[in-house]
């Protein structure tokens, strides 16, 4: 009995010991795997932070290269992570708030994320930043833009009579609209006018602030303009188109308004405009040696400003440079806005239509066969005012009519030049100028036929280029320069003839002459087509997002025996925030003796999606073959496909 009891206790003790051992091992294993999960989570968190930091570094690198390259990045997948970037332009127009966001699914199915906010700064032309927001708001709305149109009588000029105003330039800067006229009615010869941009330009008209005549002694106003701001002053610099005889006229003190190619206005108080503070004439007897012996030669035509330097383009001279660099403080004293000093010039051999300066280079357009010239404008450079590179399109100037194929407008973002031309074979070229000596074509665009397709205004925002032609306002997706497509609801250029794009249907009808942008609004001048120079101001903005959707067939592949039926379900999914519209659906591409019902299906994806089921019947004599069937939805047209095989 004692022996048996001893053995029994021994067995029990062994069993207890085994249970304890197993429990201990299990606990150790659980702790081990739990610790491993914790380690993996920590690694994932750290990796997510690294990816968010990399997105920030990428945005900072873009800002150093070109502030306009810093834009939102749509969500992308990177392994287990979803990454995105949002960008918000700040009210100073010099900084952007960049938010990088990285999310992932945790071990227990919870959504986790890391976020980094940082500010990037515009390092170029800090005193006078571009106030057009390169980051699009409601990009889809630009597929069907809306607008408001005003003649200048409606905006308070000439006792509410808008006849006789011929607009030469529009500049939007920090909430003020600066409008210049090249011609005016005799009853109100205001050639420089300022307006307050309202809080909501979609419903409110600009408010007249002030006006002034740049030169009451002559009947000609101003040409191209640009805004220059310093720490405490704001200036409007204007190319003066008055056709003085510069060979003989005298202006040594900056006071002769009738003998100047450049006029400088202090517009610090836009509600109290005054006469020009300086009227600058390029010297005919000493450098620059710019000479004009007849009317129309060497007059002010185009202008650009950057970091204390004015870049002035003239009409063709009798002799001397048409492109000139003038110091108004960029090189320090004694140069200033009241003491401009000529620094150098370049002989173009023709009029300068537009100027854009980025980095050390100026990109100028002209009617020459070299539509675009790239010139070194870095003062002090060994190659200052020398030609660095150029681009000559295949179609020569005048080859398709008088005024055709001229260089007309240019803008530069990063290393890419967007060249706008007068009417011809191709009115837009996209050039890679990373090597300025040899710009190469990345893409080109023919914006339409006829002689009303000249590009008079051009702006780039993210992947969209906004064009103002003589007859239309057009928006194109240039994200892939090799395949440029219309940014319209239908994806075709047919919509450029509708009431949202055709300038002839804006107000009393007009032709585009000038374009500028501030924030998310485009401001354009429209020359009257009524013959009374009743030019108009048009304010364009994105319309309500257009209805759009995708179609998907299910199943994507199926077989039907001869003499039997099958079915396919087409699902319509709404992809925009617009109100859903009915979508008509048809099928096409069947072989003979295969039919379907209904012949036309229809549904409205009110709640996000809807579907239509089609019955497909194969007759007993239907051909035994595999065919691709096309599914087509309309308003707008969207398609998909599925594969149908008829078997015996």
CA distance 317 to 291: 6
Contact yes or no for 103/49 (Cβ under 8 A): no
Complete domains list, the chain, with CATH? 2-121 (no CATH), 139-541 (2.130.10.10), 549-647 (2.60.40.10)
pLDDT of 188 over the 70 cut:
yes
pLDDT band of 30, cuts 50, 70, 90: very low
- Residue 23 corresponds to which tokens in the numbers above? 């429990």
352 φ/ψ angles, rounded to the nearest 5 degrees: -100, 115
Stated length of the chain: 648
C-beta atoms surrounding 248 within 10 Å: 10
Instruction: Give yes or no for residue 474 having a pLDDT over 50.
Output: yes
Instruction: Give pLDDT tens digits for 439-449.
Output: 999 999 999 98
In this prediction, residue 123 carries a pLDDT of: 83
Q: Are 83 and 93 in contact (CB under 8 A)?
A: no
pLDDT at 10: 56
Question: For residue 269, which of 234, 236, 237 has the smallest C-alpha distance?
Answer: 234
User: Under DSSP, is residue 37 helix (H, G, I), strand (E, B) or coil?
Assistant: helix
Paired strand residues for 253: none
Peptide bond between residue 473 and the one before it cis (omega within 30 degrees of 0): no
Non-local CB neighbours of 618 within 8 Å, separated by 6+ positions: 560, 561, 562, 563, 564, 565, 566, 593, 594, 646
Confirm if 157 and 195 have CB atoms less than 8 A apart.
Answer: no
Give which of 292, 178, 284 is closest to 236, Cα–Cα: 178
35 Cβ neighbours under 8 A, 6+ residues apart: none
The answer to whether 120 and 96 have CB atoms below 8 angstroms apart is yes
Helix runs in 320-418, H state only: none
User: What does the pLDDT look like over 125-182, one tens digit per residue?
Assistant: 787 888 999 999 899 899 999 999 999 999 999 999 999 999 999 999 999 999 999 9
Whether the per-residue pLDDT at 636 is higher than 90: the answer is no
Predicted TM-score (pTM) of the model is: 0.82
The pLDDT tens digits of the residues spanning 109-121 come to 788 889 999 999 9
570 vs 16, which has greater pLDDT? 570
Report the distance separating Cα 275 and Cα 293, nearest Å: 27
Could you give the 3-state DSSP secondary structure of residue 77? strand
Q: Which pLDDT band, with edges at 50, 70 and 90, does 11 fall under?
A: low
> Token pair for residue 77?
């997948």
**Mean pLDDT score of the chain, rounded to an integer?**
91
Q: Tell me how far apart the alpha carbons of residues 221 and 214 are, in angstroms, rounded to a whole number.
A: 6
Bigger pLDDT: 532 or 280? Answer: 280
């Amino acid at each position: 009995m004692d022996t048996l009891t001893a053995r029994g206790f021994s067995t029990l003790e062994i069993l207890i010991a085994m249970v304890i051992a197993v429990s201990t091992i299990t606990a150790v294993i659980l702790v081990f795997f739990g610790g491993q999960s914790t380690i993996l989570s920590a690694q994932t968190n750290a990796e997510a932070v690294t990816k968010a930091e990399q997105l920030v570094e990428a945005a900072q690198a873009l800002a150093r290269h070109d502030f306009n390259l810093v834009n939102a990045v749509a969500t992308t997948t990177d392994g287990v992570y979803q990454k995105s970037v949002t960008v918000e332009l700040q009210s100073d127009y010099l900084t952007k708030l960049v938010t990088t966001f990285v999310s992932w699914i945790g071990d227990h199915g919870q959504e986790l994320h890391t976020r980094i906010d940082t500010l990037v700064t515009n390092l170029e032309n800090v005193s006078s930043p571009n106030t057009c927001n390169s980051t699009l708001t409601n990009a889809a709305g630009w597929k069907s833009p809306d607008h408001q149109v005003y003649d200048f009588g409606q905006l308070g000029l000439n006792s509410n009579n808008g006849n006789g105003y011929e607009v030469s330039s529009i500049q939007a800067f920090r909430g003020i609209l600066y409008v210049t006229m090249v011609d005016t009615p005799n009853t109100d010869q205001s050639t420089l006018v300022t307006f307050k941009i309202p809080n909501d330009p979609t419903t409110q008209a600009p408010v007249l602030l002030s006006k002034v005549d740049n030169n009451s002694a002559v009947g000609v106003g101003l040409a191209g303009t640009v805004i220059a701001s310093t720490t405490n002053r704001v200036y409007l610099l204007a190319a003066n188109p008055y056709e003085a005889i510069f060979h003989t006229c005298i202006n040594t003190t900056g006071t002769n308004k009738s003998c100047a190619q450049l006029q400088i206005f202090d517009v610090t108080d836009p509600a109290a405009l005054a006469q020009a503070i300086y009227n600058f004439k390029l010297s005919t007897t000493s450098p620059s040696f710019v000479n004009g012996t007849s009317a129309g030669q060497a007059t002010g035509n185009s202008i650009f400003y950057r970091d204390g330097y004015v870049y002035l383009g003239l009409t063709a001279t009798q002799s001397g440079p048409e492109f000139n660099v003038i110091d108004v403080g960029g090189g320090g004293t004694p140069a200033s806005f009241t003491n401009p000093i000529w620094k150098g010039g370049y002989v173009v051999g023709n009029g300068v239509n537009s100027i854009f300066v980025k980095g050390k280079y100026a990109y100028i357009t002209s009617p020459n066969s070299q539509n675009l010239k790239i010139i070194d404008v870095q003062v002090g450079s060994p190659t200052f005012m020398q030609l660095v590179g150029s681009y000559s399109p295949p179609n020569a100037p005048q080859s398709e009519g008088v005024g055709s194929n001229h260089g007309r407008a240019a803008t530069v973002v990063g290393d890419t030049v967007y060249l706008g031309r007068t009417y011809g074979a191709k009115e837009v070229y996209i050039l890679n100028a990373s090597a300025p000596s040899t710009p190469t074509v990345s893409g080109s665009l023919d914006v339409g036929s006829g002689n009303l397709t000249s590009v008079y205004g051009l702006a780039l925002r993210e992947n969209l280029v906004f064009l103002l032609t003589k007859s239309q306002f057009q928006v194109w997706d240039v994200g892939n320069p090799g395949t440029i497509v219309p940014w319209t609801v239908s994806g075709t250029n047919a919509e450029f003839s509708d009431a949202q794009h055709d300038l002839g249907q804006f107000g009393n009808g007009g032709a585009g002459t000038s374009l500028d942008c501030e924030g998310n609004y485009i401001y354009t001048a429209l020359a009257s087509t009524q013959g009374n120079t009743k030019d108009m101001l048009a304010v364009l903005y994105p319309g309500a997002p257009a209805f759009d959707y995708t179609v998907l067939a299910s199943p994507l592949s199926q077989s039907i025996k001869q003499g039997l039926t099958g079915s396919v379900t087409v699902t319509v999914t709404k992809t925009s925030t617009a109100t859903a519209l009915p979508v008509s659906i048809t099928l096409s591409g069947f072989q003979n003796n295969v039919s379907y019902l209904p012949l036309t299906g229809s549904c409205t994806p009110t709640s996000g999606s809807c579907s239509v089921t089609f019955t497909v019947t194969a007759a007993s004599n239907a051909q035994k073959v595999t065919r691709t069937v096309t599914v087509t939805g309309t308003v707008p047209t969207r398609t998909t496909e599925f594969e149908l095989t008829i078997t015996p």
